[in-house]
Amino acid sequence: MIADGDVRRSLVAGALLIAHWVIGATVDPEPSWVWMLAGLACVIAGWHPVETSIRQIAARTLDIDVLMVVAAIGACAIGQWDDAGILLFLFSLSHGLEGLATERASSAISALAELAPTEATRVLDGIEERVAVSSLAIGDMVIVRPGERFPIDGVVAEGTSSVDQSPMTGESVPVRKEPNDECFAGTLNGEGLLRVRARRAAGETMMARMARLVEEGQANRGEAQRLTARFTRLYTPIVLLAVPAVVGGLMLAGHGFDDAFLRGMAVLIGASPCALAISTPSAVLAGIARAARGGVLVKGGAHLETLGSLRCMAFDKTGTLTTGRATVRSIECFNGASSARTLAIAEALDRHSSHPYAHAVRDAARAANAPRVEPTQVTDVPGMGVRAFIDGRACALGSPRIIDGTPLPESVQARIDALRAKGQAVALVVEEDRVLAVLSFEDLPRNGAAEVMADLGRSGIVRIAMLTGDAPAVADRIGAAVGITEIAAGLMPEQKIECVRDMRATGRTGMVGDGINDAPALACADLGIAMGARGSDVALEAADVALMGDDLARLPWAIALARQTRRTITQNVVIAMGVMAILVTLASFGHIGLGGAVVLHEGSTVIVAFNALRLLVWDRRAT
């Protein structure tokens, strides 16, 4: 690693400087060659800064390394080898320590991808074999024994066990897994043997996507980070031009060249914005890494910055504020249809759907032993439902809007109105424009959702709204249970966008959702937040932040972390600018020499780096 090399070189240079001072102080007369030790220390410690400076000059971009090298060359030119050696030694050491801090933060991210094993036990035709995880295909059956990590994302086919999902979701308590439950690569199996059917390829597991998206997100810099980078690029050439003016002014004031030059070099060091340059990126990187370890995927510094400044929050209902594990409460058939035929059609249409009500349909069909039929030309209709052909007939499943405005029979409409009055969601099963059945669903609020809404209010979120395509009675029932009073129901995806735009007039707005129909609103909000574990791939891609578990409590936790990151950035900038101002003032009036300027300057850089590193162990309970 580059950081390790910088630290090793600086330590060698430091040893040579100590030898130079010891020999010079104990041997009388001082050997003529002793200065060579200081010169060699300069060469070793300055190797990487000089190399970097040459590349910067060739690219016509002047940065902090150039300032340090210029100051060191100036000290050597007037015979101050000791001061030049101290400067390069401390600069190289601080760079190495900064690098180690950054690599530690980066490793917290890359470690996510390394949790998943490289081999798996696959069962093929009743025979177990060890194979590379990369060779697994969707649908393969794998065995996960007690104490093993899951090699792939999948669904439990056989067995029960407790699974530690903390690396991905941040849940501190193991989660019980039973048949039909989802499990994720990299999580740790507990006491039971599980047979798991793969549902994603190795490179597309949730863990792999988390690691990939976070690393890509590091390039997505926030406004504070962009301003800092722009400032240091413009500031460096200004300092290089100002230092000769300082030296000339001191000489005109009666100072000798050596004294004026050394003061100029001290001003050059004090004015170098090393600490400022790393103040923001180091904090952002540590904040993103800490969020990932807590089960929150933030796709870049800009989104972390926005997360910490949210004032409003909009929530989808189904699968976000509710458990998303609805049950079919009733089936009322019409036009001579049977429950078995109705459930067969509904199950076929919802077979591959990620909508939370689809699970309820599949569960009901399985419990009723409904016959299996095969759909063709399956089409999702966002905000309405699903259409397909079954046995050559056009079928549909979804809200009453799925029938394209055709008036419903009075008996069907009366049943829909009665169910909605009870706060239940409804769906129609349609075949060739004939309503076969009205299905009613009931979904329960998530445990702790009300506490999360209260926590968001205490965290400075001034406006919380529920946006849903469900009927008003359903939305009102859930809103009352979780403590949300601003409710917009019966919305199409484009109407959710209008509601989000309205909220943005109040302040920066986040939108939380999990389905395909939420993707437009997620993209429209200042910050899109997806429920990652059950969220659709479209929602995950449209969102800027993903809650990788199904625990809404991660949301106020993530907002608190983002705000702590913003405070850390402010602290770092104040430290960096304050030390720069003090050093330039002291150096200009000759109250601090070259060596002292180097020590304070590099010390502030290390302080800023390790202040940012504290975010890796941030705990909300301690704040």
Higher model confidence: residue 72 or residue 366?
Answer: 366
Is the four-CA dihedral 57, 277, 309, 512 of positive or negative sign? Answer: positive
Residue 5 lies in a domain: no
Indicate if 417 and 335 belong to the same structural domain: yes
CB of 116 closer than 8 Å to CB of 207: yes
pLDDT at 511: 92
pLDDT in tens, 582-610: 988 888 888 887 778 877 877 887 888 88
**Bridge partners (DSSP) listed for residue 390:** 375, 393
**pLDDT tens digits, 386-418:** 899 999 999 999 888 887 767 888 899 999 988
Q: Tokens in use for 92? A: 């190289």
Of residues 222 and 549, which shows the higher confidence score?
A: 549
> pLDDT (tens digit, 9 = 90+) per residue, 311-353?
999 998 877 888 767 788 899 999 899 999 999 999 999 887 7
Q: Which of 233-237, 289-293, 413-417, 592-596 has the highest mean pLDDT?
A: 413-417
Mean pLDDT of the 415-433 span: 86
460 in the same domain as 551: yes
What pLDDT does 217 receive? Answer: 47
Walk across the sheet containing 188-189 and list its strands.
Answer: 175-177, 161-164, 188-189
Please give the Cα distance from 579 to 561 (Å, whole number): 27
For 368-492, where are the alpha helices, taking DSSP H only? 410-421, 449-458, 472-482
Angstrom distance (rounded) from CA 289 to CA 616: 7
**Domain harbouring 500, CATH code:** 3.40.50.1000
The residues near 573 (Cβ < 8 Å, ≥ 6 apart) are: 228, 276, 279, 280
464 is a domain residue: yes
Q: Count H helices and E strands in the chain, helices first.
A: 20, 22
Give the number of other CB atoms < 10 A from CB of residue 506.
11
Q: Taking the CA of residue 348 as centre, how many other CA atoms within 13 Å lie in the half-sphere pointing to its CB?
A: 27
Q: How far is the C-alpha of 227 from the C-alpha of 97, rounded, in Å?
A: 24
Phi and psi, residue 446, nearest 5°: -65, 145
Average pLDDT of the residues in 160-181: 72
Compare 174 and 427 and report the one with higher pLDDT.
427
How is residue 133 written in tokens?
């995880």
The model's pLDDT over 6-17, given as tens digits with 9 standing for 90+, comes to 677 778 877 887
Cα angle, residue 123 at apex, residues 120 and 128 outer, rounded to 5° = 80
Mean pLDDT of the chain: 81
Predicted pLDDT of residue 442: 79
Q: How confident is the model at residue 98 (pLDDT cuts 50, 70, 90)?
A: low
Residue 94 pLDDT greater than 70, yes or no:
no
Query: Residue 218: which pLDDT band, with cuts at 50, 70 and 90?
Result: very low
Please state, in angstroms and rounded to a whole number, the distance separating the CA atoms of residues 369 and 565.
Answer: 54
- Position 97 scores a pLDDT of 62
What does the alpha-carbon distance between residue 607 and residue 578 come to, in Å, rounded to a whole number? 13
Per annotation, catalytic residue among 63, 65, 140, 316: 316
Task: Output the pLDDT for position 575.
Answer: 92
Q: What is the predicted pLDDT for the residue at 439?
A: 93
* 303 and 373, same domain (yes or no): no
Using the 3D structure, point to which of 442, 459, 477 is the last residue of a domain: 442
| CB neighbourhood size of 281 (10 A) | 21
From the number of C-beta atoms within 10 Å of its C-beta (0-12, 13-18, 19+), residue 324 rates as buried
In this structure, the number of other CB atoms found within 10 A of the CB of residue 355 comes to 24
Tokens, residue 597: 């300027």
Find residue 163's DSSP bridge partners. 175, 189
Same domain, 335 and 317: no
Q: Please, what is the Cα angle at 390 between 388 and 393, to 5 degrees?
A: 90
Domain end residue (candidates: 422, 442, 462): 442
454 and 317 inside one domain: yes
559, pLDDT greater than 90: yes
Residue with the bigger pLDDT between 354 and 516: it is: 354
How high is the pLDDT of residue 551? 77
Based on the fold, state whether residues 305 and 335 are members of the same structural domain.
Answer: no
Answer yes or no: is 54 within a domain: no
Q: Is residue 164 part of a domain?
A: yes
Residue position matching structure tokens 């090298």: 69
Strand 509-513 versus strand 188-189 pairing type: unpaired
Spatial separation of the C-alpha atoms in residues 585 and 354, rounded to whole Å: 63
Q: What's the start-to-end Cα distance of the chain, in Å?
A: 34
Residue 420 has pLDDT above 70, yes or no: yes
Active site residue 316: yes
317 and 169 together in one domain? no
Buried b (16+ CB within 10 A) or exposed e, 574-597: ebbeebbeebbebbbeeebbbbbb
In this prediction, residue 538 carries a pLDDT of 53
Q: Is 184 left (phi over 0), alpha (psi -120 to 50) or beta?
A: beta
User: Distance between CA atoms of 164 and 146, rounded to whole angstroms?
Assistant: 11
- Tell me the C-alpha distance between 357 and 91, whole Å: 60
**End residue of a domain, out of 423, 442, 461:** 442
Q: In terms of residue numbers, what domain contains 345?
A: 327-442
Residue 112 has pLDDT above 80, yes or no: no
Residue 332 lies in a domain: yes
CATH number at residue 388: 3.40.1110.10
Contacts of 368 (CB under 8 A, 6+ apart): 339, 340, 343
User: pTM above 0.85?
Assistant: no
CATH of the domain at 134: 2.70.150.10
Burial 515-537 (b: 16+ CB within 10 A, else e): bbbbbbbbbbbbbbbbbbbbbbe
Contact, 548 vs 169, CB < 8 A?
yes
Q: Reply yes or no on whether the pLDDT at 278 is more than 60.
A: yes
Longest alpha-carbon distance in the chain: 114
Look at 18 and 514; give whichever has higher pLDDT: 18
Split into its structural domains, the chain has a count of 3
| Cβ pair 163, 175 in contact under 8 A | yes
Cβ–Cβ < 8 Å for 191, 162: yes
Looking at the structure, tell me whether residues 176 and 132 fall in a common domain.
yes
Same-domain check for residues 541 and 493:
yes
Q: How far apart are CA 591 and CA 263, in angstroms?
A: 9
**Which of 217 and 152 is assigned the larger pLDDT?**
152
Q: Is the dihedral of CA 19, 20, 26, 31 positive or negative?
A: positive
Nearest to 213 by CA among 577, 560, 546: 546
Whether pLDDT at 427 is above 50? yes
Are 476 and 373 in the same domain? no
Residue 42 lies in a domain: no
Q: Does residue 567 fall inside a structural domain?
A: no
516 domain-assigned: yes
What are φ and ψ of residue 468, in 5° steps? -145, 155
Q: Which segment, 85-99, 364-378, 580-594, is predicted with the most confidence on average?
A: 364-378
CB count in 10 Å sphere of residue 204: 15
Q: What percent of the chain has pLDDT over 70?
A: 85
Of 157-171, 452-466, 579-593, which gets the smallest average pLDDT? 157-171
Highest mean pLDDT among 232-236, 512-516, 606-610: 606-610
390 and 467 share one domain: no
Are residues 362 and 337 part of one domain? yes
Q: For residues 325 and 342, what is the distance between their CA atoms, to the nearest angstrom?
A: 20
Interatomic CA distance for residues 379 and 382, integer angstroms = 9
Residue 612 has pLDDT above 90, yes or no: no
Report in angstroms the alpha-carbon separations of 91 from 68, 100, 595.
8, 14, 12
Average pLDDT of span 66-90: 74
CA distance 286 to 305: 13
Q: Are 466 and 484 in contact (CB under 8 A)?
A: yes
Name the nearest CA neighbour of 121 among 110, 106, 107, 136.
136
